Each structure stands twice: as C-alpha cells, then as structure tokens.
Structure 1
Amino acid sequence: MSLSSAMNTAQAIFNNTGTQTSTVSKNMANSGNADYAKRTTIVSTTLFGAQVSTTVRAQNEVLMRQNLTAISQNSGQQSVLSALGDMRSVMGGTNYEMSPAKYLEALRNKIHEYATRPSDQVVGAGVISAAQDAVTALNTASSEIQRVRADADKQIEAQVDKLNNLLSEFKAANDMVTTETARGGDPNDALDRRDSLLKQISEIVGVSIVNRENNDVVLYTSDGTTLFETSPRKVTFQRNLFYSASTTGNAIYIDGVAVDAAKSANTTALGSLPALLQVRDDIAPTFQSQLDEIARGLITIFAENGGTIAGLFQNGTSTTVPAAGTLVPGLAASIVVAPNAIANPSKVRDGSVNGTTQNPDNNSSFSTLLDKYDQAFDSSMAFDATAGIDVQKTLITFSSNSLSWLESLRSSATAAGESKTALLSRSAEAYSNMTGVSLDEELSLMLDLEQSYKAATKLVSAIDEMLQALLNIAS
C-alpha cells in the first residue's frame, strides 16, 4: 500500500466514522422519543474504498398499520367508557344511591305505610316528600343525561377542529417527504413527523394508508371516505349548544360523507368521533327513554277517575295520562308532583288530586285507593320497546332493570377497554422493538466506532512517522 492510498484510507475512515457517530448520537438522543425511528448508516465498498452510501430509517409497514388500528380501537373504547362512567356517576356511583329505582322503593314504602294509617296526615305528608324525591331524581337524571349528550357534542367539535389542524400539518409533512425523496435528499425527519401525525389522527378517526410514488400517501377513513389526497379533505360539524330528549344531534361530515355512529359496549368505533356519536345518539338517548318510561309509569299508577286523569304525578301542567306502552320523550324532565297533592296530601288518599273524590264521606280510614296504588307497583305494565329493555314488567322491576342495563353496558365496556389497552400496549411494543432505539445496541456500536477511529489515528500516526523518516533521509 502506498502512502497516498494509506492516507486516503484513513481519510475515508474518519469521514465514515464521523457520519456514523453523528447518526448514533442522534439515535441515543431520541431513545425516549416514541415518534422517532432508528437510523442506520449503510457503508458500501466503492473504487475509492468503504464509504457511507446512505442513512436508512427503520420502518415496518405491517406493524405500523396494526399500531394505528390499535390506537383507533382504544381511543374509541375509552371515549365510550368515559361517558358510561359519567352516566353511572349521575346515578350515584357504585351503589346507584341517587337512582330513580331507589326513590321508587322509598315511595312505595311510604304508600304502604299510608295505606295502613290513612288518617295520619304526617304519614300523608311523608308520601308527598317521597314523591318529590322521586320526581327530583328523575328531573336531575334527565338533565344530567342531556348534559352527557351536550358534552359529547362539545368534544366532537373540539375533535373535528383538532383533526382539521392535524390534516393541515400532515400536508406540510407529506409535502416535505415527497420533495426530499424526489430530489434524493433526507426525508427521515419528515417521515417521523408524518408518522407522529398519523398516530394522532388515528385517535380521532380510523385511517387506512395507500402508498404512492416518492413516499407520497393517501389516507382513507376506515369506511373508505377520502381523508387526505395531496390536500386535506374538509371535516365539518355544527354543534348544538342545548340538548333535550327531543334534540337530534348534527352529523359529522368528512369530504361530504356523514360519519356513522359506532355500536355495542365493545364498541365498533375506530377513533373518538364514531364513539362520541354512539354516546350522543344511542347510549344516552336509550337511557333517557328508560327514565321517560319510569316517569310515565308513575303517572299511570297514580292516575285517577279510572285511569283517565293524572293524580299524584303529572306532566308539567297537563293532567293527561300518557297512552299505555308509548314513550313520551322528555317526560322524566317535565314530570312534577301535582300542586293539589302538595297543598293537601289527603287528596292522594281520596283520589281527588285532579279527579273526582272516591271518598265522598271523607272517611279518615279510607284506604281503598292507597291499597290499589301499593299493589300497582307489583302489577305488570307495558313499556315502549325503544327503551331497550323488557316491554312487560312491573315499574319497580323496570327501574331496576334500567340500572342493570347501564351496569352491564359499563362492565362490558370496561372489559373491552382493558383488552384494547393491552392490545395497544403490545402492538406499540412490537413496533418499537422493530423501529425504536436500543441504548445497549447504540452504545455497543459507539464502542466499535471508537475502535475504528483509534485504528485510523494509528494509521495516520504511522504515515506521519514514515513521511518524517523520508524527509530526514532527503535532508
């Protein structure tokens, strides 16, 4: 080997080692960055010796897609689970202490007590107090369920705004990737940024990816709607500021196509948007219907004049008795204790709250109607099928089944949430193992590079000594 070729070799080692060290240092600096993919320098042999030809970014398309799907599934499930937790809190938490079912039991007990002592006005006043508690529970629960719907609408608005912003950022990152790829530059940082944005987009809506020339990509939603192709597609939504049982929420549109609400406790939602639609348009309205049916059952049980006019309970100022087995939307919010009953509790005993007295002699021991009301709590009645539970049950059983429906839904959602969280953890770990930085590996490589650098310095030192010897001979 000539001195010039030896010097070229040493120079190549220094160049290669510098590039490789820079790459390893960057890897180590980003070892805790989940959005960073490991870089590897590729050294190839040329006519001029070994040279770094390119820097490769670690990637695995299959694991990346699996990870994005897991992110979407988990995000959707957690959105549903969070809303169900809010709904359970409305009912008083774990023991459902504030549920209408609890207050119905208390009211029934007071009616039974009043039937045994119909002349006791203190007991009669207790019936009115229990009735007001039941009404308050229904009014409050209805209001809070509509708040859950309004909150879902607010979250949808925020998520839509966030998605539009992310898509704008995605365009900038994608343009950088395609530009750098086309001109033979380094698109790796832009690829990291684009993948990071994909993860954030996947939390909002499920995406599928189609790769094109120059690392360009097209994004579609999980149902096939175009989300991004060269430029972002517009995502639009109009929020409702107020919700009642009769309010229908507005649709979310992506590129003019409405997003479908998800289904089931183990939600089919990919991303938060379809899950929030499920909460707003399915879960909360179904529970609202159950509350409305409980309110209708109360009005029916205490109806007077042979069931033709409302008695102890009425719908606002109306004394009309709702039709059997037919849902009245929003009734739980508008049900009240009849003012006449509050003014004179004995009217409940006599059936004269709004109707014609059944105790014309004003007999203080009259208990016929009170016994009838007591027994009615154990009598089967028809409920509307849209409430999502049994259509023929006693009011007490129906109210208990409503809680069971909510708890079953929440329990199933919790189990599904645990499974999807575990799946996300495993998929993220598998993806990280393939593309993430291992400090042990990088440190080992750094030691190897150090040895290469030392070898180059020794070679340069040897060349220096040889040149010095030649100069000494020449002189």
Structure 2
Amino acid sequence: MSMSTALNNALGGLGAASRGAAVVSGNIANALTPGYAKRTLELTTSPISGNGVKVVGITRRQDPVLTANLRSATADYAASSAISGFHTQFEALVGTPEDDRSISATLGGFENSLIAAASNPGSAERLDQAARAAGDLATALNSASEGLRQMRSDADRRIGTYVDTLNITLKDIEALNAKIPAVQNSGGDINGLLDQRQILIDQVNELVPVNVVARENNRVSLYSDGGLILLEGTAAELLFSVTGDTKPHMTVANGLLSGLEVNGQSVRTIGETAQIRGGALAAQFEIRDELSPKAQADLDAVARDLIERFETPGLDPTATPTDQGLFSDDGARFNATAPAGLASRMALNAAVDPDAGGDSWKLRTGLGALSPNDPGDATQLQAFGAVLNSARPVSVSSFGTGDLRASEISFVLLSKAGANAHAAQSRESYASNARLQMEQLVAEQGVDSDAELQRMMQIEQAYAANARIITVVDELMDLLLRM
C-alpha cells in the first residue's frame, strides 16, 4: 500500500468516524423523544482506493409491523378510555347500591316516609316529609338526566374539536409529503421530517385508526380501518357542525344533530360497519348517538313507571281521568308520544308540595280533595305505598320481561349502570396493558443507550487508529524529505 493510499484511507476513516459519532450522539440525545427512530450510519468500500471506507448515508430504522401494532393498541386504548369514562360518570349519576343518595335509596326513603305518614296520618310534619321525599325522588331523576345530557353535549363538542384537529393534521401531513421529496432531491437529510410526519400520523391514528400505505418518493397515503380515504395525494376534508347544547330528543335521524361528512359524503360513525371505527372519534359518536340515548331510555323508564303508578285508575278516588297523579310530566299526565327526556321533566304535583304552596294533607285525603278529611284515616297513604310495591310490566325490554316493583326497577337501573361501568373499566385496563406492552416492544427496537455508548467507544478507537495512520504518514514524509 502506498503512502497516498494509506492517507486517503485514513482520511475516509476519520470522516466516517466523525459522522458515526454525530449519529450515535443524536441517538442518545433523542432516546426519549416521541416519534424519533434510531439512526444507523451506512458505510461501503471506497471506489477510489478499493479498501477504504465511504459514507453512503444515514438510515432511519423502524419496524413497520411493530409501529402498526402500537398504533392499533393506542387507538383501542383511546376509545376504551372514553367509553369507560362515560359509564363511570353515569354510574356516579344514578348511584350505587351502597350509596345513600342513589336513586334507589331515594326511592326507599320515599317509601319509608309514606309508611311513617300512614302510621300517624294526622301529623302534618310527617306528611310534609313524605311530600318532600317524593320531590327528592323527582329531583334525583332530574339531576341524573341533566348530568347525562351534559355528558352527551360534551361528546358533541369533543367531536367538533377532534374533527378540527384531524383537518389541520391531515393538511400538515400533506405538506410534509410534498416537502420530503424536495429535500431528498436536493441532497438534504429527510430523517427529521420523517420523524415529524410519524408524530402527526400517530395523532391522527389516536382519533381515527389508520393504515399507512407507502408511495413513491417517501410519500404516504392514509386510510381508516373502515376504508375511508383520509389522505391520497390531498388531504380529505371532514365536516361536522357542533350542536353544543344537546337535548334528549335530538338525533341525527331527525336532523337535530350533525353527522360526519368527508369530502361532502356522509360517513358511517356507529357499529361494526363504521368507517371511523376504533378510535377516540368513534367513541365520542358512540357516546352521543348510542350510549347516551340508551341510558336516557333507562332513566325515562324509571320515571314513567313512577308517574304511571300514581295515575292508576281507582288509586285516588278524588282524581279525574285527566288529572295528573303524584308525579307529572312537567305538570301534565304521562303521554306516550312525548319526546325522550321524561326523567328530566318529571315533577312533583304542586298540589301536595308544601314548598310550592301546596297542601301535603292531600296525600292523606287524595290529590283532588278540597278539604282535609278525618286526620286518622290512612287509607289513601296506604294505597300510595301499596302501588309502589305492586309488580308491574316495565316499558323497556332492557329491564327484563317480568313484572317488577318500583324498588326492583330502580335496583335494575343501578345494577345495569354498575355492570356496564365494571365491564368498561376492565376493557380499559386490558387496552392499557396492551398499549404498554407494545410500547415496550417498540422501545426495545429503538435506541439502546448502553449499546450506543459501546458503539461510541468503538468509534473513538477507530478515530484514534486513523489519526495514528495520518501521524505515521506525516512522519514518513518528513523522513523522506530530510534524506
């Protein structure tokens, strides 16, 4: 080997060592940076000397299978977390069997107050207590319905926020798709841009699970798991109108709530055939359009049962067929054609409400009585108590097909809410563990700080060896010049 060849090889080695040190230090510095993929220096034999080294480039290392599995686990966790949050909040609204402020406990308090009033029907204090207990029961259902309405409204607003985020992010990915080939063609390093695009794709994936399809010149196309085209050359445009303040009777079908459109076409958002299934966006649609209406129907079933019980023909001899019972639908008798949200409109008959100018003694005499009767007559109070304990059919099939007492219906409501919350929390826990496991697998394929430090030591040794060759060549040249 000639001295010029040795010198060229050493200079190439120094350049490769310098680039390698920069790559390793970048890996170590960005080991915990989201979206960062490990870089490796690609080397080949120098075509000039034949046995030297030449830097080919820097390769971004990423396992597409692991990345896809992590994205799937992340989207699943985002969806299950949202669903779990809904069921947990609804359970808190209706209460648990151990909660002395639950709907079931409030109903039990009303029944007990009727028993106490019947044991001493002449006691104005006990009659007032029974009337207020009935009012508390109506208020409990009102509060649960209002809390549910707010959760539904929150879901509607989140959908609007998510759609805005998707539109902006998809446009950013489209811009990067155009920028990456331009930088690459000019000889620039595109790895940082690829990291940035991966972060944006991950943000889209959390809202709508995506399949990433590689295109020429390092571009990508994005499709949802349901087959919706999100990015193919140009970004799709999603359209959604926020209602903000929803009401129980509002639905997409009756045009009072907005659906989702992509490039002017309606998108399926609910069920197994949903085109956006699996992520946080689909979860919010499920909460707004499926879970909330079902929960409202359960609350309305409890309210309907209570209203209809006290409208039973012959229960109150002083009432006419058109009079409201102890409970009303916003001051009127129950109407089966009325819109959803009965639980939010249920109210105590003002005629017996001592806090609204009514007379609680009408619980003893009958709601249509014009004057108090025998203060020792507990017949009507006992009839009111008995109607609560009579088994009757339930208006919704989800409560079962058998006849139930009022207390059993309220207990079924709490049991359903508790079971749904428990199942959703278990699903969330499973999804969380799956995501953590995938994150660990991806991390194992990512930057290993110990391995990078070992690599840095090897680079230092190679640098020192090449520097020593240059020193030796310099000494030999000096020796030759002195001869």
Q: Does the pair score TM above 0.5?
A: yes
Counterpart CA distance in 2 for 1:134 and 1:89 is 16
Indicate how the Cα distance of structure 1 residues 192 and 234 shifts in structure 2: closer, same or farther if over 3 A, else same.
same
Q: Is the 8 A contact 2:362 2:372 kept in 1?
A: no
| Matched residue, 1:282 | 290
The reply to whether residue 450 of structure 1 matches residue 460 of structure 2 is yes
Residue by residue over 1:257-284, the C-alpha shift from the partner in whole angstroms, topping out at 9 and shown as x without a partner, is 3241358xxxx95111110111112222
- 1:317 is matched with 331
1:371-399 deviation digits (Å, cap 9, x = unpaired) = 2221222222222226x322432221111
2:60 to 49, 57, 70: 57
Q: 2:215 aligns with which of 212, 235, 241?
A: 212
Deviation at 1:345, TM superposition (A): 1.3
Give 3-state SS (helix, strand or coil) of 2:82's partner. helix
Give the match's secondary structure for 2:31.
Answer: coil
Measured in 2, the distance between the counterparts of 1:61 and 1:185 equals 24
State the shift of 1:116 in Å: 2.1
Query: Matches of 1:172 and 1:395 in 2, distance apart?
Result: 61
Task: Classify 1:120/1:457 alpha carbon distance in 2 versus 1 (closer, same or farther; 3 Å).
Answer: same
Q: Is 1:18 aligned with 2:27?
A: no
**Pairing of 1:141-156 with structure 2 (within 5 A):** 141-156=144-159
2:303–2:343 CA contact under 8 A, matched in 1: yes
Q: Does 2:23 match 1:9? A: no
Q: Read off the aligned partner of 1:88 and give its amino acid letter.
A: E
Matches within 5 A, 1:101-116: 101-116=104-119
The offset of 1:109, in angstroms, is 0.7
Where do residues 169-208 of structure 1 align in structure 2 (5 Å cutoff)? 169-181=172-184, 185-208=188-211
Deviations 1:410-446 (A, max 9, x none): 1011111111011111112212222x21111111111
* CA–CA distance in structure 2, aligned partners of residues 403 and 119 of structure 1: 35
Superimposed CA distance per residue, residues 79-116 of structure 1 (whole angstroms, 9 cap, x where no aligned partner) = 11122232233335794443322111100111112222
Structure-to-structure mapping, 1:392-407, within 5 angstroms: 392-407=403-418
**Using the alignment, how far apart are the partners of 1:321 and 1:112 within structure 2?**
26
1:91–1:97 CA contact under 8 A, matched in 2: no
Partner in structure 1 of residue 254 of structure 2: none
- Which aligned pairs between 1:302-381 and structure 2 lie closer than 5 A? 302-303=310-311, 306=314, 308=321, 309-318=323-332, 320-322=333-335, 329-342=340-353, 343-351=358-366, 353=367, 355=368, 362-381=373-392
Q: TM-score, normalised by structure 1?
A: 0.91
- The structure-2 alpha-carbon separation of the partners of 1:361 and 1:46, relative to structure 1 and needing over 3 Å to count, comes to closer
Q: CA deviation at 1:291?
A: 1.6
1:92-171 → structure 2 map (5 Å cutoff): 95-171=98-174
Q: Distance in 1 between matches of 2:363 and 2:76?
A: 54
2:281 matches 1:273: yes
Could you tell me whether the CA contact under 8 Å between 1:101 and 1:399 is conserved in 2? yes
Comparing 51-60 and 443-452, the one that deviates more: 51-60
Q: Does the residue aligned with 1:382 lie in a helix, a strand or coil?
A: coil
Taking the TM superposition and a 5 Å limit, the aligned residue runs for 1:294-305 are 294-303=302-311
Number of matched residues? Answer: 460
Greater Cα offset, 299-308 or 457-466: 299-308
Identity %: 27
The 2-side partners of 1:39 and 1:69 are apart by 24
Q: Work out whether residues 96 and 414 of structure 2, in 8 Å CA contact, stay in contact via their aligned partners in 1.
A: no
Measure, in 2, the Cα distance between the counterparts of 1:321 and 1:21: 79
Alpha-carbon displacement from aligned partner over 1:325-384 (angstroms, at most 9, x marks no partner): x88622111111111112211212222x2x468xx9922222222222212222222222
Structure 2 spans left out of the alignment, 5+ residues: 252-256, 316-320
Give the distance between the partners of 2:359 and 2:312, measured in 1 at CA. Answer: 16
> What residue in structure 2 maps to residue 463 of structure 1?
473
Letter in 2 for 1:314: S
Structure 1: which 5+ residue stretches go unaligned? none
Alignment partner of 2:436 out of 422, 425, 434: 425
Q: Measured at CA, do residues 69 and 304 of structure 1 come closer, stay the same or move farther in structure 2, by a change above 3 Å?
A: closer
Look up the equivalent residue of 2:109 and give its one-letter code: A
Quote the offset at 1:236 in angstroms.
Answer: 1.2
Report deviation, 1:136: 1.2
Q: Is the 8 A contact 2:212 2:221 kept in 1?
A: yes
Q: CA deviation at 1:310?
A: 2.2
Q: Which amino acid aligns with 2:116?
A: E
* Cα 1:33–1:40 shift into 2, 3 Å: same
Deviations 1:57-82 (A, max 9, x none): 10111111111111110111111112
Is residue 291 of structure 1 aligned with residue 299 of structure 2? yes
Contact 2:93 2:147 (8 Å CA) reproduced? yes
The answer on whether the counterparts of 2:108 and 2:407 sit within 8 Å (CA) in structure 1 is yes
Tell me if the contact between 2:223 and 2:229 (Cα under 8 Å) persists in the aligned partners.
yes
- Structure 1 residue identity aligned to 2:340: P
- Is the CA contact (8 Å cut-off) linking 1:34 and 1:432 kept in structure 2? no
Q: State the distance in 2 between where 1:94 and 1:215 align.
A: 58
TM-aligned CA distance change 1:361 to 1:70, over 3 Å: closer
CA distance in 2, matches of 1:381, 1:437: 66
Q: Given the two structures, how large is their TM-score scaled by the length of structure 2?
A: 0.90
CA RMSD of aligned residues (A): 2.2
